Amino acid sequence: MTLDLRADPIALTAALVDIPSVSRDEDAVTAAVETALRTQTSGFEVMRHGNVVLARTDRGLPTRVVLAGHLDTVPIADNVPGRFATENGAEVLYGCGSVDMKSGDAVFLHLAATIADPAHDLTLIFYDCEEIAAEFNGLNVIERELPEWLDADLAILGEPSGGWIEAGCQGTLRVRLSTTGVRAHSARAWLGDNAIHRLAPLLNRLSEYRAREVDIDGCRYREGLSAVRVGGGVSGNVVPDAAEVEVNFRFAPDRSVDQAVEHVREVVAGLDLGFEITDSAAGALPGLTAPAARGLVDAVQAHGSAGVRAKYGWTDVSRFAARGIPAVNFGPGDPNLAHKRDEHVPLTQITAVTDMLRAYLTKDSSDVDRLR
C-alpha cells in the first residue's frame, strides 16, 4: 500500500490500520513507511535496520527532538480493515492499532512531510515488536546496535494519552515471596504446617499498605504494591508444604530499582519469607523543566483542551530517561481502549495532537499563539 504522508493524518491513520502488522509480522507496514519517507520528505537521511525505519535531519539546529512510535499491534480481532463511525455525536475510527499506536505514527509521519521550517532537527524512529517480550523490541535493538540514533534534547513517544502530555513513567518490580511448611494428610492436618496459611501475615500487610504519592515537575505519581498471583498446594487432601505470592510494585520515578527493592524488603521485614526478584524496570523522570520539554508543555497548554499529567505504567520513555534525555508520552487515543476488540480513536484527537505538535516543532512562534 502507498501511504500519502501529506494527506490528512486521519486518512493516514486509516491507511496504516488497514495494513496488518501483528508483532513479528511487520514487513509490509515497515516497507510502506520506509518508501513513503524516502519519496515524500526532504532533508531526511532514511535507513532501515531490520524492521525499524529511522530518519533524521541534520540542519544544524540548536536542538533535536526524537519522534518514536511502534508499528506493531496485538493480534487482530476482526477489527482490520478499520471503519469510521459516529459514537455519541463524535466521529471515530475503529480498528486494531487505531489507538495503540497508529494514530500517533500517522501524526509523526504527516508532520515530517509537511513542516517546512522546523525549530528542531528531527529524528524519527518507527519500530517493531513493542507488544511482545522486551528482548524483541525494535527500540531495544536500536539502543544496543545504533545508540547514537537515540541522542536528542527531548523524546516524544506516540503512546496513546488522550492528547495530554503523560510525563515520564512508573518503574515496575516483581518479587516472588515464598513460604515453606510441613506436608501432611488433610484429615490429620495437625501433623503438618500449612504453607498457605503462613502467607496470612504477608497478605494482611499488603491489604493495609498505604501507597505513597509524590509530585515531580507538577506531575503526581501514586505508587502501588499489590499481590498479583498466589500459588500453592498439590492435592485436595494434602496440607501444602510450599506456597508463594508474586508481588508487583509500581513505583514513582524518583526511586531507583535498588531503592524499590529495599522498600519492598522493608514492607515484609520480620516475616519468614523467601525473596526472589523476577523482573524489574526503572521508571522515567518527567524532565519537564528541560527547555525542550518546556516548549512542548507551552504548545499543549496553549491549545486549552489538554495539559500535563503523570504516566501510570511503564513505557519505552524509560530507555531515553536512562540516557539523560527528557521523554514524554503524547498521542491521540484513550489508553484504556488499547488492545480491545472495539479499539477506536476520536478523529478530533488526531487533529488536535497534530496541531499541538506542529506548533511545537515549527519556528513560527505564532503557531503557539494561534492555539491560545
pLDDT at 306: 74
What is the pLDDT, as a whole number, of residue 371?
44
Q: Are 324 and 362 in the same domain?
A: yes
Residue 163 belongs to a domain: yes
Do 151 and 247 reside in the same domain of the chain?
A: no
Hey, what long-range contacts does 36-44 have (CB within 8 A, 24 or more apart)?
A: 36/2, 36/3, 36/4, 36/5, 36/109, 36/113, 37/5, 37/109, 37/112, 37/124, 40/4, 40/5, 40/6, 40/113, 41/5, 41/112, 41/113, 44/112, 44/122, 44/124
- Whether residue 40 is contained in a domain is answered as yes
- Residue 357 has what pLDDT? 96
Residue range of the domain that includes 232: 171-281
Domain boundary residue among 281, 314, 341? 281
Q: Residues 26, 34, 100, 130: which is the catalytic one?
A: 130
Last residue in a domain, options 249, 264, 281: 281
Q: What is the CATH number of the domain that holds 322?
A: 3.40.630.10
Mean pLDDT for each consecutive 10-residue tract of the chain (372 residues)? Answer: 95 98 97 98 97 97 97 97 93 97 98 96 97 91 96 96 93 96 96 97 97 92 96 95 97 96 98 95 90 91 85 90 93 94 97 96 62 44
Residue 177 lies in a domain: yes
Report how many domains make up the chain.
2
pLDDT of the residue at 135: 87
Q: Which of 281, 311, 336 is the last residue of a domain?
A: 281
Position 364 scores a pLDDT of 64
Amino acid 133: pLDDT? 84
Q: What is the pLDDT of residue 366?
A: 43
Whether 193 and 224 map to the same domain: the answer is yes
- CATH code of the domain covering residue 241: 3.30.70.360
Contact 118, 62 (CB under 8 A): no
Are the beta carbons of 94 and 344 closer than 8 angstroms? yes
Q: Which of 72, 128, 246, 367 is catalytic?
A: 72
User: If we measure between CA atoms, which residue out of 283, 335, 336 comes closest to residue 104?
Assistant: 335
- The answer to whether 72 is a known catalytic residue is yes
Q: Is 58 a catalytic residue?
A: no
Please indicate, yes or no, whether residues 275 and 289 belong to a single structural domain of this protein: no
Are 28 and 115 in the same domain?
yes
Distance in angstroms (rounded) separating the CA atoms of residues 5 and 37:
8
